[in-house]
Every structure is written in structure tokens, then in C-alpha cells.
Amino acid sequence: MLKRREKRRYISVMHGCSASEASAAIEKRLQELYGAIAAERASLKVVRPGEGVSVLRCSLGSEEKVLVAIALASPPVTTLDMSSSAKRLKRRLTKVNTALLAEKSRG
């Protein structure tokens, strides 16, 4: 029998600190809320660290728990978008960033 790779979700988050600090805060809150086993099953990982906006990856069954942990993280972290494909999420993020830059240049 063939083993299938676990499906994942990609979540873009906005934070005011470094990507590693934001990820650590989310993982800590996830473990506090749901326990160490749920935090391991979530397999949270920073896929694309960035200044202010990063992309995280988590397992399919635990995206709701991760979203709750993101909402309750300290320092504050905000969810921007979520997708099943990193490529699609990247495309949507570039559209949002382009629109924000256009607004800043106008105003």
C-alpha cells in the first residue's frame, strides 16, 4: 500500500516582529491551548519568512486550531489569507501588496 503525503494549508500572517519570533509565539499559544500532541500534529513551519509578512505551513486537519492560536498570539499576529497551494497564496499576496503600494503613493 502506498503512503500518501499529508495535505497542507498555507497561511500568510502579518507581524510586527521577526518571523521566527512570530512563529514561536504561535507555536507556544497552540501548545498552551491544545497541548503538545496537537501542536506536533499541526506541524507548523515557516515556509517564507519576510519582513512584516510571512507564510506558514500547517497540516490540513489542524488549520482551525492554528488560526485560533494566531488570533490569540502575543505579540499580535494577524492572518491575511489562507490557501491550499503556496503558489496561489503567493499570487494573491502580490496582488494585495501591489494594491497597498498604489494606495500609499496616491495618499
User: What is the separation, in whole angstroms, between the first and last Cα of the chain?
Assistant: 59
What band does 40 get if pLDDT is binned at 50, 70 and 90? very high
Whether 97 shows a pLDDT value over 70: the answer reads no
Number of separate helices (H) and strands (E) present in the chain: 4, 4
pLDDT at 107 over 70: no
Query: What percent of the chain lies above the pLDDT cut of 70?
Result: 89
Residue 84 has pLDDT above 70, yes or no: yes
Give 2's contacts (C-beta < 8 A, 6+ positions apart): none
Q: Which residues is 46 bridged to in the sheet?
A: 56
Residue 83 pLDDT greater than 80, yes or no: yes
Structural domains of the chain ordered from first start: 8-106 (3.30.70.3250)
Q: Identify the band that residue 73 occupies on the pLDDT scale cut at 50, 70 and 90.
A: very high
pLDDT digits (tens, 9 = 90+) for 4-29: 888 999 999 999 889 999 999 999 99
24 φ/ψ angles, rounded to the nearest 5 degrees: -65, -40
**Spatial distance between the Cα atoms of 101 and 90, rounded to a whole number of angstroms:** 16
Cβ–Cβ < 8 Å for 13, 73: no
Please report the pLDDT score of residue 96 as a whole number: 67
